[in-house]
Amino acid sequence: MQVQVKTVTTSDQQTLCVKTWGDQKKTPLVLVHGYPDNQEVWEPIIEKLVNDYFVVTYDVRGAGLSSIPKRIKDYRLPRLSLDLQEVVDQVLPNRNFHMAAHDWGSLQSWESATEPKLKGRLLSYTTISGPCLDHASLYLREKFKSAPSNVLKMLTKSWYIGAFHLPLLAPTVWTFFSPERWGKILSGLEKKQDLPLNANIVADGKYGINLYRANFIPSLTQPRQRYAQCPVQAIVLRRDAFVSPEYITESMPKWVENFEYVELDANHWAVLSQPEKIADYIRQFIVKNA
């Protein structure tokens, strides 16, 4: 695949490793990766889309070849949204674009999808396994009044969030992983062998924890009303071990005027285990909102 590597320096002097794929004259599509991944996680999907779109990916701060901020507050959602804006301003100046994101990439991209200043420029958003934290918090508060047991059941899927807030244990645990060991975990979850390995898994896991530490408590204690500024498609993974579908199917329509979702029989890393289907869903939604 035709790829170019660029460096974008942010307004707070971090450096982001950005890659562009394919013909820049074609419709732009920005892909934002999750945790504990880097932009390489998208490559199986890019293979399916690069002939139709000018694809832009980047390592979010703290991941891959991008720089690692020293302060936890430098991972806050408004700052992550500004990273996206600065990437597209430099790589796609004065151009509209579509966006798709997975896991933490989705969580942080909701900040951009609900940002009024991107209305009209961001043409569509496909979210995979990543509800808006503000929407999720408001949904849990409302749901707890009528069905507290259901809320507690949903929260059990998010046990790892509390663990990631432990001062020393969480970052240290990642030093015991290797690309091969992490690959076995993904293969077990997805029921598929020979998935692509993340050679940078130790660093991506260790530093990406700051995404959780910077954002979960503020979003849970002071959720904001955030309305989508573009059409949104959610790809709901039926066997997702980490994200309950109710966050998407029940909560999202309240905040998105033009919303639809599709279901896929897959676990959390469908971007690796079923890239052709994910690519097809992204393409169909872009065509619908061209």
Instruction: Decide if pLDDT at 116 tops 90.
Output: yes
Strand partners, 102: 128
60-64, 246-250, 267-271, 272-276: the lowest-pLDDT one: 246-250
Give 153-162 contacts, CB < 8 A, sequence gap 24+: 154/244, 154/246, 154/247, 157/241, 157/242, 157/243, 157/244, 158/242, 160/242, 161/212, 161/216
> What pLDDT does residue 171 have?
82
pLDDT at 220: 86
Please indicate whether residue 160 or residue 135 has the higher confidence score (pLDDT). 135
Please give the tally of structural domains in the chain.
Answer: 1
Tell me which residue range forms the domain holding 44: 3-288
pLDDT at 106 over 60: yes
Angle at 186 between CA 161 and CA 262, to 5 degrees: 80
The sheet carrying 3-9 orders its strands as: 3-9, 15-21, 53-58, 27-32, 97-102, 122-128, 232-237, 259-264
Predicted structure pTM score = 0.94
**What tens digit of pLDDT does each residue of 43-77 get?**
999 999 999 999 999 999 999 999 999 999 999 99
Here the tokens at position 76 are 């806050």
Tell me the torsion sign for CA atoms 90, 96, 97, 103.
positive
With cut-offs at 50, 70 and 90, classify the pLDDT of residue 163: low
What CATH number does residue 224 fall under? 3.40.50.1820
SS3 call for 182: helix
90/20 Cα distance (integer angstroms): 12
Among 116, 108, 127, CA closest to 216:
108
Is a pLDDT exceeding 80 seen at residue 152?
no
Q: What is the pLDDT of residue 151?
A: 58
Nearest to 227 by CA among 252, 193, 248, 207: 252
Average pLDDT, the chain: 93
Please name which of 74, 93, 90 lies closest in space to residue 9, comparing C-alpha atoms. Answer: 90
By CB neighbour count within 10 A (0-12 exposed, 13-18 middle, 19+ buried), where does 171 fall?
A: middle
pLDDT tens-place string over residues 6-21: 999 999 999 999 999 9
Q: Could you tell me which of 230, 233, 234 has the C-alpha nearest to residue 113?
A: 230
Nearest-CA neighbor of 103 among 246, 281, 241, 250? 241
